[in-house]
Amino acid sequence: MKPTLLVLAAGMGSRYGGLKQMDGLGPNGETIIDYSIYDAVQAGFGKVVYIVREYFKAQMEEVVKEKYSHVKCVDGTPLEFQFVTQELNKIPEGFTLNPEREKPWGTAHAVLMAKDVIKEPFAVINGDDYYGKESFRIIADWLRAHENTQGVYSLVGFELDNTLSESGGVSRGIGTADENGMLTHVEEHHKIAKEADGKVYGENAAGQKVELGAKALCSMNMWGFTPDYFAKSEEIFKGFLQKNIGELKAEFYIPYVVDCMIKDKSAKTELLSTPSRWFGVTFKEDRPGVVAKFQEFADKGVYPSPLYTK
């Protein structure tokens, strides 16, 4: 079984100032997604599904066709690609969208857009985050081992202080696990940053400023799911919309969905640890450091340069 990689690439890049998904950061213009797909293929993934917005779907499809049409999976078969769009009006029947709303519904809504094209275990990643080779091997092994299971999912957790940006506050889902390595709680925090006293602070779901453990394991949206996730998530989305359909900024996050499932015992989530270090381009000020890191990878032979050759 070859798992599928679901890439969340619908974000408009408002904080970054442009389409991060298209930004060439590697020595030969490689994007972060290019590196993720390279690592995923090496780990045994067989299909990539992009979640995009309609206004840049055609551009993304053209880029993918040009870059990856020759890429083969580890078994020698061509790597498959599909594109699905996330739009505000793609919500369950019976709900009326607030015409003033412009903000997307969030990451868990984006994942739901792929329910008709994914029938196998799949991993979810952000298109603008670098996760590292080992992270993809870990999640791929987990997905293959859970091909015939239901109600058990996984999260690749990163230490919080390894995921911060020097350019501004970030949002992270902070996880808590029991003695068996299963998540007991995951809560989205915003405006997370290290302050002058050397400690890490953020705002919890209630908007309160709280101190966070620097080594707390957090979600960088690298999740492992089996297809039964879609039906469970859709029911939770309906409940979310009943409370928030009129809101202009409320978002439906993956950590919120997973936390709901933990609380109602409809699913368990295993916390997987990775030695990889995360980095990404949350803000445009992050860009020079990421460019330097990819150049270092090329200089040390961690990746071929150029990454893809026809």
In a domain, 97, yes or no: yes
Contacts of 116 (CB under 8 A, 6+ apart): none
pTM, rounded to two decimals: 0.88
Residue 47 corresponds to which tokens in the numbers above? 């299909």
Looking at residue 2, its pLDDT comes to: 95
In a domain, 131, yes or no: yes
In a domain, 232, yes or no: yes
Looking at residue 149, its pLDDT comes to: 93
Looking at residue 275, its pLDDT comes to: 84
CATH code of the domain covering residue 54: 3.90.550.10
Looking at residue 19, its pLDDT comes to: 55
CB-based contact 280:164 (threshold 8 Å): no
In a domain, 249, yes or no: yes
Cis peptide before 306 (omega within 30 of 0): yes
Looking at residue 272, its pLDDT comes to: 93
Looking at residue 94, its pLDDT comes to: 86
Looking at residue 16, its pLDDT comes to: 36
- Quote the domain boundaries for residue 170: 4-300
Alpha-carbon torsion (16, 19, 20, 24), positive or negative: negative
In a domain, 178, yes or no: yes
The count of domains in the chain is 1
The DSSP bridge partners found for residue 48 are: 5, 81
Looking at residue 139, its pLDDT comes to: 98
Looking at residue 21, its pLDDT comes to: 57
**Below-70 pLDDT ranges, the chain:** 11-22, 310
pLDDT digits 0-9 by tens, 23-76: 789 999 898 999 999 999 999 999 999 998 888 888 888 888 888 888 999 999
Looking at residue 20, its pLDDT comes to: 55
Q: Strands, DSSP E only, in 99-165?
A: 122-126, 129-130, 152-159
In a domain, 305, yes or no: no
In a domain, 309, yes or no: no
Candidates 25, 36, 52; CA nearest to 295 is: 25
pLDDT digits 0-9 by tens, 244-266: 998 888 999 898 899 899 999 99
Secondary structure (DSSP) of 224-242 = EE-TTHHHHHHHHHHHHHH
Residue 82 corresponds to which tokens in the numbers above? 């599909």
